[in-house]
Amino acid sequence: MVVGDVTTAVSTLIVGAGPGGYVAAIRAAQLGQSVTMVVDGPLGGTCLNRGCIPLKALVSASRRFRQLNDESLQTMGIQTGTTSFDWGKMQAWKTGVVERLSGGVEKLLAGHKIEIVHGLGWFLNERELRVEGEYGSHRLAFEKCLLATGASPCELPGLPFGENVLSPQQALALSELPASINVVGDDYIALELASLYGNLGVATTLLTKGDKLLPEVEPAAMRLVQAGLRKLGVQVVTNAQWLKMAAGELVYEAGGQEKRLAGPVVVSGGIQPNTDKLNLKEAGVKTGRNGEITVNPAQVTNLPDILAVGDVTGQIALASVAYKQARVAAETLDGRKVAYDPQAVPIVVHTTPELAYTGLSAEAARLEGFEVVTGRFPLAANSRGLTLNSENGVALVVAEKGSGLLLGMTIVGLQAGDLIMEASLGIEMGATLTDLAEILHPHPGLGEMTLESVESAMGLAIHTL
């Protein structure tokens, strides 16, 4: 790469190295394109460095610690004695996981001969990007450009980020664990953060302005998840209004009374697409109301040679969504006729018990005009659940009445996040209840919950009345 304020011609230019950017870069290179990547942060983006991976690492470690103290071990005849944890070591282990994965991304990009330019990029016009980085200023003239610049956490009114009000990313890097913490939000990140701190014995309050956590999820599943939070000692406050900070405390109103809570506040209040620094106007790239880059199903913006993927497009903020859009975009760049059009988006929430859902809930299906049948099977009636001494869970299925077309599945309990893929595959493939019921499921296995929830929707469940 030539250094200095000179123009370098590049073929495919990708801005951002998160799940959207690095996957698009690798797939484009696999398809024979010459790829240059501009990135102003660590490889792997939010997911790897500040999001999915650090959060899941800490939640998993905290969950294992909690399990050592769970009475279910004693029931199985296991005595653990006194247990403790070292938050500093837990953080160091998490950082090791992140570094290992980030190093892996670096090797993959190098292995595909993707040239990386470190620095912040913004448009000079619809064919050129300026990059300001450690080696000065570059002008890159591109043939095609793919934007994968992600999104940043949003502040909530009354709770600007500062010393005592943290974003989820900052909350994952706390150098010391506080005695108490308050998590504000109703999304999966808020629930996972509350579980993490609750697992470690921090006095945790989870506050939401609405009347429900994860309002899109089946209420029967959420009741189990909320019971799990309560078991960890997490206080859930719904309908919390007028949240603000005063004298270092969180002040809010609930049930007509003003209340105060000590301890840092973590706000998981949505995200804002990272488009403000891109100078999109100079290029003529159109954005939507929240600043998101609008794209068609082939991931192309209003300009035929500029594409966008991931959080910056305002789609549901998931790495899995960014990964898929990235593959679609790379193939579009290769001239193929492809589209991002998933029939089901599986979502996993790493609470205890774990929650996973895909497709439509019964209520959402009805709102879409389906006449539905539903089925349920409790983990307490699943033999593998009993051999694992874990009874807290359920599988809930939704299908179209008559045709039996599978529409949605929700699973609560051990390994729900892995079990959900059977239903997701089924929905993608247009499977019916009969299709799922015809498949042999290993015994004893947690997957039998899925089978029997399907049979229950058909009125044929064996192991429940």
Ligand X SMILES: Cc1cc2nc3c(=O)[nH]c(=O)nc-3n(C[C@H](O)[C@H](O)[C@H](O)COP(=O)(O)OP(=O)(O)OC[C@H]3O[C@@H](n4cnc5c(N)ncnc54)[C@H](O)[C@@H]3O)c2cc1C
443 is catalytic: yes
User: Closest separation between CB of residue 186 and ligand X, Å?
Assistant: 15
> In this complex, which beta carbon is closest to ligand X, that of residue 206 or of residue 451?
206
Please report, as ranges, the residues that interact with ligand X according to CB under 6 A: 15-21, 38-41, 45-47, 51-52, 55-56, 120-122, 148-150, 168-169, 189, 274, 277-278, 310-312, 317-320, 322
Peptide linkage before 353 cis (omega within 30 of 0) = yes
Residue placing its CB nearer to ligand X in the complex, 149 or 352: 149
Q: Nearest distance from residue 428's CB to ligand X, in Å? A: 17
Q: Which of 300, 299, 321, 302 is nearest to 310 (CA)?
A: 321
| Least spacing, CB of residue 284 vs ligand X, in Å | 17
The answer to whether 349 and 355 have CB atoms below 8 angstroms apart is: yes
Q: Nearest distance from residue 350's CB to ligand X, in Å?
A: 7
What is the token pair recorded at 254? 């609930």
Q: Does residue 279 come out as left (phi exceeding 0), alpha (psi in the -120 to 50 range) or beta?
A: left
Q: Which helix (H) or strand (E) holds 65?
A: helix 52-68
Distance CA 261, CA 52 (A): 28
Q: Using H for helix, E for strand and C for coil, what is the string for 302-324? A: CCCCEEECHHHHCCCCCHHHHHH
In DSSP terms, 356 is beta-bridged to 348, 411
Task: Name the minimum Å distance from CB 438 to ligand X.
Answer: 31
Shorter beta-carbon distance to ligand X: residue 292 or 452: 292
* Residue from 261, 331, 312, 234 nearest 19 by CA: 312
| Amino acid present at 186 | D
Closer Cβ to ligand X, 102 or 343, answer by number: 102
**Nearest distance from C-beta of residue 302 to ligand X, angstroms:** 19
Nearest approach, Cβ of residue 133 and ligand X (Å): 9
Nearer to ligand X, 322 or 420 (CB): 322
Question: 149 vs 392, which CB is nearer to ligand X?
Answer: 149
Set 118, 138, 441, 443: catalytic member: 443
Backbone φ and ψ of 326, nearest 5° = -65, -40
Residue 432 near residue 347 (C-beta atoms within 8 A): no
Closest to ligand X by CB, 45 vs 393, is 45
122 contacts 133 by C-beta, under 8 angstroms: no
What share of residues in the chain are helix, strand, coil (percent, to 5)? 35, 25, 40
Q: Which amino acid is at 147?
A: L
Angle CA 334–319–51, to nearest 5? 140
Q: Which are the contacts of 399, defined by CB distance < 8 A and separation ≥ 6? A: 372, 373, 374, 375, 405, 406, 407, 432, 433, 454, 457
Nearest to 278 by CA among 115, 136, 130, 127: 130
Q: At 44, phi and psi to the nearest 5?
A: 105, -15
- Strands 406-412 vs 355-359: parallel, antiparallel or unpaired: antiparallel
To ligand X, the closest distance from the beta carbon of 118 in angstroms equals 9
Q: Which residues are catalytic?
A: 443
